[in-house]
Structure 1
């Protein structure tokens, strides 16, 4: 699904479902560029400015692309960078694949810049043979052709931030699976016992059993879990609750000498995860928050995209300004509606339902046709 949101409204309004507008749905195997071409043509007109009559007033309307958000593979496609099987897989910097997890990365020196990427594409086009073009593209980690979005006025690397929800929720889910697998049978029993007796906030729904229903966890479940798990583990976790083989692995990797220290490190990692989630999803940032966010990301399991989240937070004031949690809720509505269609012309059926839903919202909001 492809969705559009108007940015010059308040943060509160941007989080409402009715302010997320669906452009349409690209079927599996469909061509994104063919689908988005009409939208690009209209955006070109709006970039130059168009006179419109708005509520009886003649206005000059100017609009442009603010930013795009997508998961990692599709995000790379939209920027013109190769996917994650290439040597240079990041759409924000030129870090080689074998250096993604280094602690001493100098991001300003390895970042991708729009004008440099333009020159690299020109070098690819200037190659005389397809083999040479592929070789140059592989060297720079770029696709053979720039994306259709390059027809608009935008900065491809600055305006394609990573989404905080997809990035952090994936880390939490992965760490949860590792933690559960590391627990002994006795540890799992204790975990479930304290899980059931944990004091949930009243506005939260009860989360599913993380041991038996781990594969059904949604992103929101993972993020709530990150805030709860340090308290739950702190109430019961001891060396006897871990498999000895897992403790041995952790001791070898961290260099600690005793099992109880390894358990404390495990718990500390969950604490850092919770603190990171708390600050990453703040509605406003201070300069101190940016510094703390950098420190927390450095202390998490060293994943490359963490570095760029701090940069995105500075570029867009907060990470929530480029997050897609509301869009995911809208997308869930359409996914649930698929089951009620005949699956012959799904995109048409979904758009009909969307128009009906939008009309009902308009009426409930007090709208009246003239």
Structure 2
């Protein structure tokens, strides 16, 4: 079965990592022939090259570029995939246009954010799919609430390759709090910074620092906020870093997302790296984390409650160890293999004529 995976992401984020994991699994599974279509400067290209996975190039990252549209049409006409699977909103646009113009293939869309679909083309391009896969039950419900037929929808949580993460920790003279992710509004780093300002008021806390690994549109704004709150000496903005480089440096991992979250990879990476996790109570996060079992949960946007959760982990090593042990067990439910296996079942079901 020939599968064309389409991704127009500009930077390596969780969605791009899922495309790579899925392409790799398909390439290793008899009966599947994956091809990945990406822009010429896609961050996926080095990973695909390293695995010897076939990929075809699009001229740009735009879904409105006529050359991109023409190139995708030619790819589909030449390779005749059984399934075209999109992994971002722009890719969904291109593939929906190809479906309308060419037909001849089944169309799968993955939806990774919990924002509602806007009326018009934003809705129609997703409705054109034969299957819409949400990466959380929350997102699946949002799709149904937006008018997508429920029978077209399903949930497949994102996975990680847990073997890529080290459970060892590097020694530091001070406690290290950390966060990893794009510096965008939805990730809630401003809540973390406010929580760290609260943390400075706790006299009983040991010396600490915070590492923020990520880049994005709020980089300078967050640095200014940290300076304004007197935190310049304890917060280190690292810019983009692979989470595997940063997690061995972190003693307590915070995930302060405020909205739009999918199936948060950083939570799973924290589990895989034997790091206690604290996360906001967004519905999608609660599909992963059970309070006081495999993480601590704080009320969304509540900086003081986040600070108290950090203090609690620091003061209660037994609790921290429990969270780590249960997190290690939890990550086995969200592996790249289990994710890919579920997509393969979906592909096979779409390729089988209904009786």
TM-score class, shorter: 0.3 to 0.5
**CA radius of gyration, larger in:** 1
> TM-score when scaled to structure 1?
0.32
The answer to which structure has the higher strand fraction is: 2
